[in-house]
Amino acid sequence: MAKSHTTVDQLRHDIDRGRTHDKVDFPDPAAVPLGSDEEAAGTQVTPFEASQARHDETGRPASKAGAPGLESNPRKANLFIVLGAGIAGTLALLALAT
């Protein structure tokens, strides 16, 4: 039986599933898929390199805040809500004044 090797596609799948702890579980439609640079240069990623990268990326512990974004920082989310409400209010007053 052939030994299973890690591929760049498996690494990308781990990243898209949030297993690298730096983004949420959602597919990322990349304009240039992972590994395209190596393919264009004519140098394929070896199974060892792909395996090492996958181990390095998925071996990190999750941070306490989780994936980056507004949900991990409620103060930042509140700031955007207040700014949005202020802008909407200003636009409403300008519309009434004209």
What pLDDT digit, counting tens, does each position of 43-89 carry?
888 888 888 888 888 876 655 544 455 455 666 777 888 889 999 99
Between these two residues, 35 and 62, which has the higher pLDDT value? 35
Q: Classify residue 8 as exposed, middle or buried by CB count within 10 Å of its CB (0-12, 13-18, 19+).
A: buried
Say if residue 35's pLDDT is above 70: yes
pLDDT, residue 20, reads 79
pTM higher than 0.85? no
Distance of CA 36 to the CA centre of its chain: 18
pLDDT, residue 60, reads 66
Q: Which residue has the tokens 């730096």?
A: 22
Distance of CA 39 to the CA centre of its chain: 23
Say if residue 24's pLDDT is above 90: no
